[in-house]
Each structure stands twice: as C-alpha cells, then as structure tokens.
Amino acid sequence: MTPESLARTLEHFLSGCQGAVVVENGAVLFDLTASKYSISGERNKCLLHVWSTERNVVRRVLEAQIKNEVLQLAVQKLGQSRPTKLTICRERDRRTVSAKRASRIAYQRILQRVVERHFPGFTAGPLTTSADLSHSFGPVYSRGLLQRGRSAFAVLGVNDQETQASIDAALTFGILWMDQCRHANAGHLAVEGLKVFVPAGASILISERMANLNSEVAKWHLYELDQNDDSLTQKDYSDRGNARTRLVHCTDEAAIQRQFAESIARVREIMPEAEIAILSPAEIAFRCHGLEFCRARLGQDQSLFRNTIETVFGLGAGEQILTEDNVGQFRQLIRTIR
C-alpha cells in the first residue's frame, strides 16, 4: 500500500469510531474519547501521531489490515528499523456477543440475589436486561423495581465486565429508568427514588454527579457490589473530599511562555484578547472567554528527528496544524468564535 492509501485507510477507520482504543504490546496507550490524533501521508511516509495529556507518540505506518472491527498496523518507531505491531480497536470491549450476554445474565442473577438479601423489607421484582430502544435501554444494565407497600425504588446495576464508560453512564440510564417506572406505575406506586449498583472501586465519578442531584425530586442511593463475594457497600456521595491526589512538578510559567513565544505572538496577532492556559510543560491552550480554539505543543520534526513547536486547531479528525496554507481557515474560525 502507498503512504496515501494507508492514510486513507486510517482516516476512514478512525472517522467512524470515536470510542476506539490504541493498543501496543498488549497495553492500552490511548482512549480516543480523551485523546487526539493526526494522520499524514506526505513525503512518501504515512505517519500516525497520537497524543493526550499523559503521552505523545508518532509512528510510521508500513502496513494496515482491518479484521473483525480491529485495525492491525505494522509500524516503525522513530529512530528504529525493526517494525512493531500497533492495534486500534473500534471498541474497548472486544468480547464476543455470546460472552457479553453470558456475563450480563450471570450478573443479573447476582444482583437479584443481593437485592433480595440486603433489602428484606422490600419485595424485589424480577430484573431484566432486555433491550427497550424506545426508552433508550440496551442490554448493558440490569434494571427492576423494589417495592414496599405502595412505595418503591427503581433499581439499576452494571457488572464489572462492562467498559468504564458504560459504568460512568449508569446514573444517566438510572434516572431514565426511574422516570419510566414513575410513569408506568402512576396512581399505583410512589417511586421514591433510585438505587444504583456499580462494581467495587468504580463509583467515584457517579458519586460526584449524584452529589449534585436534587434530593427533593428523588432519593438517590449509590452502592458498590463486589461480584466475587456478593458484598454490598453503600457509598456516601455527600462526602466530597479529595477522590484522588497526586503530586506534580510546579511549572515555570514564564519559561513556558518564552518557549511558546512565537506561537503566542502568531495567535494574538489575530486575536489579541486570547487567553493562555498552560496545560503542561509541553502544551498550552488558547481560549476565548474559556472556550478553547487552538493549542500549541511540542511535536516532532520527522525529517530532522528533533522536537519542534506546532500550533493546531480544529477538533478530532478535523484537527489541522496551522500553516500558511490554512491560515485563512484559522482566521475564519476566530471570526466565528467572536
């Protein structure tokens, strides 16, 4: 394949999978929901550049093959002659359909057993994972109703084999499920609130979101379920201390601004009021009243094998490196933002 055809293959594959992950040597390097990439088919080379707040890699693509929703690449690291393998999976979850179904049915049984054991004053109706696309429900979540007299709670759980994105979205689907339960049981039951069950150690983001919900609209309960021993722990989402802490080096803002002085001058020539946000020692962002419209970052000059500073604008696959050829597009973007 020519560098141009390789670039087209990569662009076509990546344009249709925002949730793809990049895997190298068995480890996930990038989740494209939180990373960016650019593809170049110039100078008789196909180069794939992927970066995030944590890392930045450039690979020369030699071969590409699509098989079972997976793009398998033979790539070459800069400065190395021996090719290696890089895999881009359309979905983080690569289990077969039957494997997903089996794990969900098994979890449904576990959750049913746990709910009946830990809420003895309630009657637990049968849980379901059946798809209900008219109400936006797929088979990912087990859902049901806990009833005590004429009051009830909507129940929704997600197992530890699902992706983190599915786990983090459990509260959204739980609210939809509670709303559906209220409408379906209007005049018969008062659905007081929602009980959400997530895997052990996976409740941080949901806890933060649940703390911002209106407690007058519904009662919100969050639990972590350990599927290994059926243990259940209720989480206090009102405790909003530090979820996770880490120490980072204090950045020298003056030195970073000197390093990116040329990019800053170029952008401010077009938008003098642009705000500068230092993201890391290797990257800064330009914003207008908080809205980010471009970045400057340390990149790599593949022809000279050295670092260079590049300014980029646009989103996702449409991201471009600012050059004299596209500066007109950049000026139009600035006018639109203003």
Indicate which CATH number applies to the domain containing 111: 3.40.1350.10
On the question of pLDDT at 58 being above 60, the answer is yes
Same domain, residue pair 224 and 326: no
Q: Is residue 280 part of a domain?
A: yes
Angle at the Cα of 73 from the Cα atoms of 69 and 79, rounded to 5 degrees: 155
pTM: 0.52
Classify residue 322: in a domain, yes or no.
yes
Q: Are residues 49 and 78 in the same domain?
A: yes
Instruction: Give yes or no for a contact between 284 and 237, defined as CB atoms under 8 angstroms apart.
Output: no
Query: Is residue 318 scored above 70 in pLDDT?
Result: no
**Structural domain contains residue 245:** no
261-270 vs 327-337: helix axis angle to the nearest 10? 60
Considering the chain, what percentage of its residues have pLDDT values greater than 90?
38
68: left (phi over 0), alpha (psi -120 to 50) or beta: left
Domain boundary (235, 264, 281) is at 235
Q: Do 132 and 214 share a domain, yes or no?
A: yes
Sign of torsion over alpha carbons 111, 117, 118, 119: positive
Query: Does residue 40 or residue 230 have the better pLDDT?
Result: 230
Same domain, 129 and 230: yes
Residue 242 maps to a domain:
no
Q: Domain residues for 79?
A: 3-89
Average pLDDT in the chain: 85
Let me know if residue 107 belongs to a domain: yes
pLDDT of 244 over the 70 cut: no
Tokens of 19: 């949730």
Phi, psi of 329 (to 5 degrees): -65, -40
| pLDDT bracket for residue 94 (50, 70, 90) | low
258 burial level (CB within 10 Å; 0-12, 13-18, 19+): exposed
- In the chain the first and final C-alpha atoms are separated, in Å, by 44
Domain end among 89, 122, 144: 89
Do 121 and 214 share a domain, yes or no?
yes
Whether 199 and 304 map to the same domain: the answer is no
Q: Look at residue 248 and tell me if it is in a domain.
A: no
Statement to judge: residues 21 and 144 lie in one domain: no
244 within some domain: no
CB-based contact 10:39 (threshold 8 Å): yes
Q: Where are the alpha helices (DSSP H) in the chain?
A: 3-15, 97-118, 164-168, 170-184, 204-210, 253-259, 261-270, 327-337
- Whether the predicted pLDDT of 24 surpasses 70: yes
111 and 224 housed in the same domain:
yes
Model confidence at 251: pLDDT above 90 = no
Shared domain check, 85 and 103: no
Judge if 8 and 41 occupy the same domain.
yes
Count: domains in the chain: 3
pLDDT at 249 over 70: no
pLDDT, one tens digit per residue, over 254-295 is 888 899 999 999 999 999 999 999 988 888 999 999 889 999
Q: Are 7 and 104 part of one and the same domain?
A: no
83 and 102 co-located in one domain = no
On whether residue 78 sits in a domain, the answer given is: yes
User: Could you report the per-residue pLDDT of 113-160, keeping only the tens digit for each?
Assistant: 999 999 988 999 999 988 787 777 888 899 999 999 999 999 999 998
Least confident of 63-72, 170-179, 194-203, 242-251: 242-251
Listed residues 60, 89, 118: the one ending a domain: 89
Query: Averaged over 91-101, what is the pLDDT?
Result: 68
Q: What is the band of 95 on the pLDDT scale with cuts at 50, 70, 90?
A: low
